[in-house]
Amino acid sequence: MTAAPYIHLENVDVDFPIFNASSLSLKNKVLKAVTGGRISTRHDGHVVVRGLDGINLRLESGDRLGIIGHNGAGKTTLLRVLSGIYHPTSGRAEIHGHSTSLIDISLGIDPEATGRENVTLRGTLMGLSPKQINAMMDEIIEFSGLGAFIDMPFRTYSSGMQMRLAFSVSTTVRPQILIMDEWLSTGDLDFKERAKKRMHDIVDSTDILILASHSKDLLLSNCNRVIWLEQGRIKMDGPAEQVVDLYFGA
C-alpha cells in the first residue's frame, strides 16, 4: 500500500546572493522596490535578497492549497521549493510522495530533437523510466494530435504545436502531489476542451494540490485552504473563502 503523501516545511528561508553588487546602488534600490524590501548585506559585503522568510507549512493528503500574493511576494520561490528545484538556505523541507510540477512544462525540451525524442527527454526529467515512457508514447502522441509531425524537429513546430506536445507529456501521469502556477490551457478549441478535461481529471485524482493563481474564481473552485504571501512571509493562512475575500478586497 502506498504511503500517504505529505509536505512539511519548518522555518524555511531562501536567500539569493547578488555577487556583483556590494552596496545599495541604483540597481539595489530597484531590486529593493521589486522584492518588497527583503534585502540585507552579508558580513562579506555581498547583497542578499531573501525570497522566503521563516515559512512554516504542513500539507497532508486531501489538502487543496492556493497561494496568493502580489508579484515579488515569493510565490514562485515557494513553488520551486515545494517542487524540489530550490533547497532552503536554512530550515527544513520534507516532501514525501510522487510529485509533478507544472510550473514550466517546457523544461527539458530540445529544439533540435524530434517530438518523439522530446517526449523521452521530458519524461525522463519527470522521473519516468524508459519502460514507462515507451508504454505512454502512443497515448501522448495521440493526445497531442501531432500525427506525423512527431518525428519532425521540435523547432519546426508552430508555438501552438510546441505547447500541445509539452502539455501532453507533462500531464500524462497522475501524481500524488500536483504543483501548478496558474491553470494550463493551450491550443485550438478542440485541444483546449481535451486539455481542460485532463486538467480536471488530474486535479481530482491528486492527493495534494498546490495552485498559485491570481484568479479568485479558480482558487475558490479548486482550493480548500489558501496562504497569502507578502515579502516572502506568510501573512495569512486559513480557509480559502476567508483569505481570498480579504486579499481581493484589500
Q: Judging by beta carbons within 10 Å of its beta carbon (0-12, 13-18, 19+), is residue 22 exposed, middle or buried?
A: middle
pLDDT in the model for residue 97: 93
Cell readout for 148 is 506525423
Closest by CA to 123, choosing from 56, 113, 211, is: 113
Q: Give residue-wise pLDDT tens across range 67-76.
A: 999 998 999 9
3 state DSSP class of 154: helix
Cell readout for 25 is 546602488
Q: Give residue-wise pLDDT tens across range 225-241.
A: 999 999 999 999 999 99
Cell readout for 151 is 518525428
pLDDT in the model for residue 43: 55
pLDDT in the model for residue 40: 62
Q: Which amino acid is at 176?
A: Q
Cell readout for 225 is 485552504
* Full-model pTM: 0.84
> Do 6 and 97 form a contact (C-beta atoms < 8 A)?
yes
3 state DSSP class of 39: strand
Residue 110 sits at φ, ψ, to 5 deg, of: -105, 115
pLDDT in the model for residue 189: 79
> Do 162 and 170 form a contact (C-beta atoms < 8 A)?
no
pLDDT in the model for residue 48: 83
Cell readout for 118 is 522530446
What are the per-10-residue average pLDDT scores of the chain (250 residues)?
89 86 53 54 70 96 97 93 93 94 86 96 90 96 95 94 92 93 77 90 95 95 96 96 92
**Which residues touch 45 (CB under 8 Å, ≥6 apart)?**
22
Residue 8 sits at φ, ψ, to 5 deg, of: -125, 115
For 45: left if phi > 0, alpha if psi spans -120 to 50, otherwise beta; the answer is left
Strand 6-18 to 90-96 pairing: antiparallel
- Torsion (CA) 231, 235, 237, 242 in degrees, nearest 10: -120
3 state DSSP class of 187: coil
